[in-house]
A = this chain, B = another copy of it.
Amino acid sequence: MSRGKLHAVIIAGGAGERFWPASRQKRPKPFLRVVDGRTLLEATLVRARRFAAKDCVWIVCGREHARDMRRETGLPAQRVLVEPRRRNTAMAVAFAAQHIAGHDPNAVLAVLPADHRIPDARAFASAIRKAAAGARDGALLTLGVRPTRAETGYGYLQLGSAVGRRHAGLRRVKRFVEKPDAARARRYLRSGDYLWNAGIFVFGAQTILDEIREHAPELHRALAPLRQSPRVRSGKRVAAAYLRAPSLPIDVAVMERSRKVWTLPLKIHWSDVGTWLSLAEELGVFPGGTQVLGGELLFDERGGNLVWGQDGRGVALLGVEGLAVIETPDVLLVTKLESSPDVRKIVAQLKRRGRTDLT
């Protein structure tokens, strides 16, 4: 069997609702220029190009974003896999795996969410290559990040035994753990036995398809039209597959069930930049220190706030701290940073009220 290439599959599926109102259905989180002077999508692309050849970078995205994705990444249409409807990450991965395997049967895929932040692209690329070696031996790799705080916003991986000499540093995964409460998060941090589940995966295209057949038979059946015509990118067969596919995360559909899951514990700065609170942490908002993204901070008495302003507008803060003040042309959000994960509630309520002009 010839040695397949290493492909980067960038999954741009989520709506980033907890980043509302900056993140909208039409222009979700990957397109936001939140840190490092680039959009999260651009930064993901730069990371991908460190380990994947130019013609081995793919994006999976929804129809409504395909044009912007192509324009902002410069990828040719044939490497932008357009999902006819949203079906969560298991189907996105399956579609990419089936399609890429049609071109490169021994392809190894590195699956990267389009909206994470990993400043050290070099260390990341070297980790992906190490994981790819494991993937070439038939394992499903999930990257695990050494926790630096008792975070309750992430899922965890419990470390199992070492894999063996051939793959120094790789470990088996004993189990996946849901987001813990604060006490358990502290225990996990102390024990050293737990890693943050970064949602970044490396596996052979054929391996993941085999595992889907074994652990996610409904998804496997949905893929039948694609198997008959593996290089198809759009049209009836894709529509048929998506119509039948269950909406499941790849973690739940396969990773948590498979016995072939390994991890590579990483000491690396990683964040899913999931909420305004986590962005504030990324930017270094602290008591007395306010961070400003756009707009002009005119006055800030106490500090410890996050300001996402608008060009040509000033923001003045008086007697407040620990706030996120998020301005967009049509909506202003003022939230306690600690309440910011609940922004989803607002989006849900606006949808219920038919105000999709604002979501």
A21 B332 Cβ-Cβ under 8 A: no
A234 at the interface (CB under 8 A from B): no
A329-357 CB mask vs B (1 if < 8 Å, else 0) is 11111111011101101100110000100
B331 A323 Cβ-Cβ under 8 A: no
Q: Select which of B314, B340, B345, B349 is within 8 A of A332 by beta carbon.
A: B314
Q: Select which of B312, B316, B338, B358 is within 8 A of A334 by beta carbon.
A: B316
CB distance from A210 to the nearest CB of B (A): 45
A residues 280-326 near B (Cβ < 8 Å) are 298-299, 301, 309, 312-320, 323, 325
Q: A298-B358, A346-B299 are in contact. Are A320 and B335 (CB under 8 A)?
A: yes
B331 A325 Cβ-Cβ under 8 A: no
Q: Can you offer 27 A-B residue contacts whose CB atoms are under 8 A?
A: A298-B331, A298-B350, A298-B355, A299-B345, A299-B350, A301-B339, A301-B342, A309-B332, A313-B330, A314-B331, A314-B332, A314-B358, A315-B331, A315-B333, A315-B334, A317-B333, A317-B334, A318-B333, A318-B335, A318-B340, A319-B336, A319-B340, A319-B342, A320-B335, A320-B339, A325-B332, A334-B334
Q: A298-B355, A299-B346 are in contact. Are A315 and B332 (CB under 8 A)?
A: yes
A327 at the interface (CB under 8 A from B): yes
Residues of A with Cβ closer than 8 Å to B? 21, 298-299, 301, 309, 312-320, 323, 325, 327, 329-336, 338-340, 342-343, 345-346, 349-350, 355, 358
CB distance from A53 to the nearest CB of B (A): 44
Q: A323-B320, A325-B332 are in contact. Are A346 and B315 (CB under 8 A)?
A: no
Provide the residues of chain B in CB contact with A317, threshold 8 Å.
Answer: 333-335
Provide the residues of chain B in CB contact with A332, threshold 8 Å.
Answer: 309, 313-316, 325, 327, 332
B343 A21 Cβ-Cβ under 8 A: no
Instruction: Give the nearest-CB partner of A338 in chain B.
Output: B319
CB distance from A341 to the nearest CB of B (A): 10
Bound complex: CA of A338 vs CA of B327, how far in Å?
Answer: 24
Provide the residues of chain B in CB contact with A334, threshold 8 Å.
Answer: 315-318, 320, 323, 325, 334
Provide the residues of chain B in CB contact with A319, threshold 8 Å.
Answer: 335-336, 338-340, 342
Residue of A317, A325, A330, A343 ringed by the most chain B CB atoms within 10 A: A317
Instruction: Give the nearest-CB partner of A276 in chain B.
Output: B318
Provide the residues of chain B in CB contact with A325, threshold 8 Å.
Answer: 332, 334
Bound complex: CA of A355 vs CA of B316, how far in Å?
Answer: 13
Provide the residues of chain B in CB contact with A335, threshold 8 Å.
Answer: 316-320
Residue of A332, A333, A346, A350 ringed by the most chain B CB atoms within 10 A: A332
